[in-house]
Amino acid sequence: MKSKIVIFSTIAVVSVIIFILKLYQIQVVDSVYKMSAENNAFRHVIQHPSRGVIFDRNGELLVLNEPSFDLKVVPGTISEFDTLEFCRIFEIEKKDIDAIFQRKQKRYRSTIVKKQISPEVYAKMQEHLYKFPGFYIEKRTIRTYPRPIAAHILGYVGEVNTREMDNDAYYNLGDYIGKSGIERTYDKYLRGEKGVKIFVVNVHGQVQESYKEGRYDTTAYSGNALTATIDVNLQEYGESLMINKIGSVVAIEPATGEILALVTSPSYDPNLFVGPKLSGNYAKVSRQKNKPLYNRAIKSRYPPGSTFKPVSALIALQENVINENTVFHLTGGYNTGSHIVHDHIAGAINLEMSIQHSSNAYYCTVFKKIITDKKQESYAASYENWKMHLHSFGLGVKLGVDLAYEDKGLIYPSTYFDRVYGEGRWNHNTIISLSIGQGELGFSPLQIANMTCVIANRGYYITPHVVKNIAGTGIDPQYLTKHYTEVEERHFKPVIEGMEKVVTAGTARSAFLEGYTICGKTGTAQNPHGKDHSIFIAFAPKDNPKIAIAVYVENAGYGSTWAAPIASLMIEKFLSDSISRPWVEKRMLEGNLLNKK
């Protein structure tokens, strides 16, 4: 009897242990069983917040939201249904449905069947959705753009990828994130906070009621509204002037660093990158010959050409190698020993005249004095000192604009010339093309516009930026901080006087506007691949300037022919909201330079 009792007791204990282990496996270890039980009881429906809207500086809406809907399902909760009828009604490929229900590892995870459904299509779906228990709709929003402009500033929103999910726990598969422009830089402010609603569902996936009357639901909070710095009318006007041209226009308010317009041409309609057609449209736009996705305003490296001469003058004044009364007697060119840098003027030329008439020989001579300055121990040291000055103007460094992919531009260190020519085997004549903004220099239109702000402000700039305010918070202090150059304020007066004469009686008379004091400088950048680039910088008014601008028109020739008129039109548009020279406007609007290279 004792042996039987022992046997039965052992069997009982083993049975209990097996039962406990199985129960533990089902309830704790086996996530599939656990997930199945939970999803037969509850459905967590994410409440996606509306992204924050974006206004221009004057309160006009640039970006807003429209309702959109995702059709979703938890595959493991669905019994057999007529897939052919389902696919016909909802216009879905059968292979896509089959794929969803064959992913065994995701059978108890909510899965998108069809995304970004328009309100019109959603209304039609509602008529048939009851036939397919377990399928449900999750409300979303998508972006829309009232005006088809400013694509490179505003950016676009796309589906989050694996890397982005790894970098930010906020995101889950199927979420949307800013991919470029303001949408990318300020995504954490625009995206808002998700909420969740919990529903009780039956074994067929049909909603029965809100769980605990919504006690555990959380509210979604919309994203912050943003105010951009751009003037939408100026931006639109700039884009229209650059139609059928390749290049860029950047306009900045000098006193604040606020970007008033940032045009890169060609561009694209931001509405193309919205909704289910985004990927297809992106592929089409990216294949276009003139690269409309490329943001020339912040990524291109153009030689500054003669627009560089005012900065050369300021550095020379600060280094005391010239003064405002310095006169050079020029003979129509500068002889390096191996070649001549030609000039179109000759005679006794002072500082103001050198800027007014854009003398090459004057600035070759100025550069020689800078590089051979006896205060420095070597040509390399003089060059590095010169480069330091350029950096203080925001040239050859990343400015920190609140747009992704900014290029820092190109200024080589002295060691580069040591490698090319040999240490101690180069001098001012070897690199003389730098004196007139050619050679081993390359800056973005943003950097050149910012350089113009430095001159307009008589010695400082504020980091250029495209967002003026974030509702409920404010902007980063870096966009309120002044950055001073190494050049003292007293040196700017003669340079600015010369820039005024450029417009009134110099190389940019095409930019002259009655009633406005515009200070400018033309440039013609050599282009080894075709016709030279047309460049112009300007600010206005002369005192207390409201706008500084840089215009680059590729393969357009002299700066006075295309860039200067475009700049003056934009200045007038911004300052008066009118145009006094319709014939100039007509020529700029109708000009087609795409086949003139």
User: pTM for this one?
Assistant: 0.87
pLDDT value, residue 359: 94
Distance of CA 261 to the CA centre of its chain: 12
CATH number of the domain at 43-144+193-224, please? Answer: 3.90.1310.10
Tokens linked to 44 = 């967590």
Q: What's the Cα-to-Cα distance from 565 to each of 150, 453, 496, 550, 552, rounded to whole Å?
A: 22, 19, 20, 12, 12
**pLDDT digit of tens for each residue in the chain (597 aa)?**
566 666 667 777 777 777 777 766 655 544 444 444 454 567 677 788 999 999 999 999 999 999 888 888 877 777 778 888 888 888 888 888 888 777 755 566 778 888 888 888 888 888 888 888 778 888 888 899 999 999 999 999 998 999 999 999 899 888 899 999 999 999 999 999 988 888 777 655 566 677 776 777 888 899 999 999 999 999 999 999 999 999 999 999 999 999 999 999 999 999 999 988 888 999 999 999 999 999 999 999 999 999 999 999 999 999 999 999 999 999 989 988 888 999 989 999 999 999 999 999 999 999 999 999 878 889 999 999 999 999 999 999 999 999 999 999 999 999 999 999 999 899 999 999 999 999 999 999 999 999 999 999 999 999 999 999 999 888 999 999 999 999 999 999 999 999 999 999 999 999 999 989 999 999 987 776 668 889 999 999 999 999 999 999 998 888 889 999 999 999 999 999 999 999 999 999 999 998 755
Does an H or E element contain 383, and which? helix 379-392
First-to-last alpha carbon distance for the chain, in angstroms, is 109
pLDDT value, residue 204: 56
pLDDT value, residue 380: 94
How many other CB atoms sit within 10 Å of the CB of residue 508? 31
- Of 539, 571, 520, nearest in space to 307 by CA: 520
State the Cα–Cα distance between residues 56 and 43, nearest whole angstrom: 41
247: which strand partners? 265, 553
- Of 268, 242, 298, nearest in space to 465 by CA: 298
Stretch(es) of the chain classified as CATH 3.90.1310.10: 43-144+193-224
Coil, strand or helix: which one is 511? helix
Half-sphere exposure of 147 (CA within 13 A, CB side): 18
pLDDT value, residue 35: 43
The answer to whether 411 and 387 are in contact (CB under 8 A) is yes
pLDDT value, residue 4: 64
State the Cα–Cα distance between residues 15 and 286, nearest whole angstrom: 67
What superfamily in CATH does domain 232-284+295-590 come from? DD-peptidase/beta-lactamase superfamily (3.40.710.10)
Size (the chain), residues: 597
State the Cα–Cα distance between residues 75 and 134, nearest whole angstrom: 8
pLDDT value, residue 6: 62
The answer to whether 252 and 298 are in contact (CB under 8 A) is no
State the Cα–Cα distance between residues 393 and 300, nearest whole angstrom: 18
State the Cα–Cα distance between residues 132 and 135, nearest whole angstrom: 6
State the Cα–Cα distance between residues 430 and 7, nearest whole angstrom: 103
- Of 340, 368, 364, 369, nearest in space to 354 by CA: 364
Tokens linked to 20 = 């406990």
State the Cα–Cα distance between residues 567 and 520, nearest whole angstrom: 10
Coil, strand or helix: which one is 230? coil
Half-sphere exposure of 403 (CA within 13 A, CB side): 27
Q: What is the DSSP letter of 20?
A: H
Phi, psi of 151, deg, nearest 5: -60, -40
Stretch(es) of the chain classified as CATH 3.40.710.10: 232-284+295-590
Task: Name 228's Cβ contacts closer than 8 Å, sequence gap at least 6.
Answer: 54, 55, 56, 57, 62, 153, 154, 182, 466, 467, 468
